[in-house]
Structure 1
Amino acid sequence: MQKSVSLIFLFLLFINCSTSKEKKIDEYVFKTKKEKTLYLTSYNKALQLWQVPYKEENIATSFGTAHIIISGPKDAKPVVLLHGMDASSTMWFPNSAALSKNHRVYAIDFLMEAGKSELKGKSLTSDEIVNWYEEIFNYYNLKNFDIIGASRGGWFATLLTIQKNKNINKLVLISPAQTFNNVDQKGKASTAMFLKFFPNKKKLNKTLDAFSYYPNKINSVYKNQFYLANKYSKSNASFLQMRPFSDDELKGITIPVLVLIGGHDVINSEKSLLRANEYISNCKTATIKNSGHFVSMDQSKEVDKMIVDFLK
């Protein structure tokens, strides 16, 4: 494992230090204005897939601009959505209607990768990432809110839940990465790494085949945005900070938790659910049939129903 991490770090270092023939821009994620414009155009097209009325807001934080997609009744209970790596908040389009019916949804773009949040300065530590999210929660005066995290967003959601001064009421983890155990099927999961390092449509298809049970059913507009995120944006080292949470950290989670994984998930296996049930006192788990790591897209209706019922 240590050797694998070292190789990934070298690849990240290589990519982040690479140069471009186009004029550079002073930004953490994109190398050129053209690349940023192309990506943001694809983002806006994907956001049109959102199934309910929404608004976009940008708020200033100590670490840069936070971009949030907001939907649902103004006076409803708040729920925060944290997306997976390179997926951006637009990934929630299949779930937006169900989640927005009885909740005020706040979908936050992570600021160290492709999306509309923008980092100022250097890469953030785990503690700084926690502080960044808490600034957003304080800005919206979120109290006793629910939080849903997918993949790496699930790891961040768990990290936020184990903090002392949290205001989180319920936690939903959708195939959380590096949360209960390390990556289950490293060989298949590595397709995402090669897509990032050497992006082309063939590698995109291999990645989707590995991560989705129904890759051909993924909306082509969103698929293009996901591809451009890998093609144009720099890799960030935040996932190198991610390690499975300790027994004591998991035991400290006393709020209700729902953990969902796909039956063909390359990131998690039943071992993840066993560990969740063993150490989290108030935990429900389920394996969703005919779904991969992209379980909220592969089986959106079933996932939506389970989440909505859990959050009632």
Structure 2
Amino acid sequence: MRAFLFLVFAVLLFNCSNKHEKYTKVPDYISNARGTDKLYFEAYDTTLQQWHVSFKELYIPTTYGIAHVIVSGPEDGEPLVLLHGMNASSTMWYPNIEALTKSHRVYAIDFILEPGKSYLYNDIASVDNVIDWYQEVLFVLDLDRFHVIGASRGGWLAVHLTLRNQKKIESLILLSPAQTFTWIKPSTDLLKNIVSLVSSKEKRIAQSLESMSSNVSNINAAYLEQYYIATEKDSVNKFMSSMKPFSNDELKSLQMPVLVLIGDDDMINEKRTIEIANMLPQGKGEVIENAGHFLSIDQAEVVNTKMLEFLE
């Protein structure tokens, strides 16, 4: 009898650890990529070498296309979902992934409407469709309860996702969320970005990075190369005009613990963001010194510590 029970346990354990194996096959759009796509995927893989933790890549079929998910961390760790910033892809988490995977099973999802390894083949007509897509991915991943971290536009999407899944999300961390608590106010950096639109692509990228990061030289060279190539690819930024701050009622309906971090030199947010965050039922907002919009890179060690303390 004991041997039988051990066999049953072994079979269940094997099935659990291999339930996603059928999604590991690399699709043709990556294995047979050409031109800019090929260069981009190669740059993406080079950045992934900076993670310094073991991982596997999943390619999950959905109604709208293939969802690329990078899975890291202990299998018995609490699930943690990462939603990256605009045109950043999941590789943007390279300074944070080692810390986050110490006690969490981390699922980093490439947004299907931006450069990354996800692949769109059916039109997404609304933000609701975007959340439907995320929910399909989470269903396949079999995540009943999980934490969420969203950066920039990923933070805005994370709030949308949370409002639709209040009972599933344990906690929410927002890193300089865009257009989530307040409108983006006019600033010198914003004006420079607007003026740079008439400049060459190289100058536009340089100006954008300088306005988003407090220390561009601190950004990993491999990631910068991937970012540069991404600008050559088309993003489907069809929902930019629909990005607007959530109402006070919507924000105050978030009953789980919420941590909001912004940089002290953040072009996207201001202190009002922190004031609103601190008024949430279980909200906490903080300003990270010597950091811009890319605070998870600018001050990775500080941000990692605060995220881990909050998650624990």
TM range (shorter): 0.7 to 0.9
* One-letter code aligned to 2:306: M
Q: Relative to 1, partners in 2 of residues 1:59 and 1:197: Cα closer, same or farther, differing over 3 Å?
A: farther
Match of 1:266 in 2: 267
Structure scoring higher RCO (CA < 8 A, sep ≥ 6) equals 1
What residue in structure 2 maps to residue 115 of structure 1? 116
Cα distance change on mapping 1:87 and 1:199 into 2, 3 Å: farther
Cα offset, 1:183, TM superposition:
1.1
| Alpha-carbon distance in structure 1 between the residues aligned to 2:195 and 2:158 | 26
Residue 310 of structure 1 deviates from its aligned partner by 0.3
Q: Which residue of 2 aligns with 1:237?
A: 238
| Structure 2 match to 1:24 | none
Tell me how far 1:124 sits from its aligned partner.
3.5
Which amino acid is the alignment partner of residue 75 of structure 1? Answer: D
CA deviation string 1:64-97 (max 9, x = no partner): 0000011000111000000000000000000010
For 1:196 and 1:48, the matched residues in 2 are separated by 33
| Structure 1 residues 154-210: Cα deviation after superposition (integer angstroms, max 9, x where no partner) | 001111111156410000000000000111345523666787897632222211111
Partner of 2:4: none
Give the equivalent residue in structure 2 for 1:301: 301
Cα 1:252–1:219 shift into 2, 3 Å: same
Q: Which amino acid aligns with 2:157?
A: F
Residue in 2 that maps onto 1:6: none
| Cα displacement (A) at 1:241 | 1.9
Report Cα offsets for 1:39-64 as digits up to 9, x if no partner. Answer: 11111111111121111110001110
1:232 counterpart SS class: coil
Q: Unmatched 5+ residue regions in structure 2?
A: 1-28
Match of residue 38 from structure 1: 39
Using the alignment, how far apart are the partners of 1:269 and 1:168 within structure 2? 26
SS in 2 for 1:290: coil
Could you report, residue by residue, the CA deviation over 1:109-164 in whole angstroms, capped at 9, with x for unpaired residues?
A: 00001000011122441111111111111111112200000000000111111115
Partner of 1:139: 140
Match of 1:7 in 2: none
More deviation, 144-153/181-190 = 181-190
Report 1:163-178 matches (<5 A).
163=164, 166-178=167-179
The answer to whether structure 1 residue 205 and structure 2 residue 206 are counterparts is yes
- State TM-score, norm by structure 1: 0.85
**Where in structure 1 do 4 or more consecutive aligned residues deviate above 4 Å?**
190-199
Contact 1:58–1:66 (8 Å) recurs in 2: yes
The one-letter code sitting in structure 2 at the alignment partner of 1:292 is G
Between stretches 165-174 and 228-237, larger displacement belongs to 228-237
How far is 1:247 from its partner? Answer: 1.0
The answer for unaligned runs of 5 or more in structure 1 is 1-26
Return the TM-score normalized by structure 2: 0.85
Q: Secondary structure at the match of 2:59?
A: strand
Distance in 2 (alpha carbons) for counterparts of 1:152 and 1:72: 25
Give the aligned residue type for 2:38: T
In the other structure, the counterpart of 1:12 is none
Change beyond 3 A, Cα 1:56–1:288 = same
Partner of 1:5: none
Q: Within 5 A, what are the aligned runs for 1:5-20?
A: none
1:185/1:267 contact within 8 Å kept: no
The answer as to 2:262 corresponding to 1:281 is no
* Residue of structure 2 in register with 1:21 after alignment: none
Instruction: Tell me the equivalent position of 2:222.
Output: 221
Contact 1:189 1:211 in 2 (8 A): no
Superposed CA deviations along residues 222-275 of structure 1, whole A, max 9, x for unmatched, are 011111112222352122221100111011101000000001000001011112
In structure 2, C-alpha distance between the alignment counterparts of 1:88 and 1:196, rounded to whole Å: 23
Larger radius of gyration: 2
Paired with 2:104 and 2:262, the residues of 1 have a C-alpha distance of: 23
- Give SS of 2:278's match: helix
1: CA distance, partners of 2:84 / 2:121: 21
Q: Kindly tell me: are residues 145 and 195 of structure 1, through their superposed partners in 2, closer, same or farther at Cα, counting changes over 3 Å?
A: farther
The answer on whether the counterparts of 2:263 and 2:293 sit within 8 Å (CA) in structure 1 is yes
Calculate the aligned-residue CA RMSD, in Å: 2.0
Whole-angstrom CA distance in 2 between matches of 1:132 and 1:51? 29
Partner residue of 1:64?
A: 65
- What amino acid maps onto 1:180 in structure 2? F
Indicate how the Cα distance of structure 1 residues 210 and 41 shifts in structure 2: closer, same or farther if over 3 A, else same.
same
Distance in structure 2 (CA, Å) of the matches to 1:91 and 1:190: 25
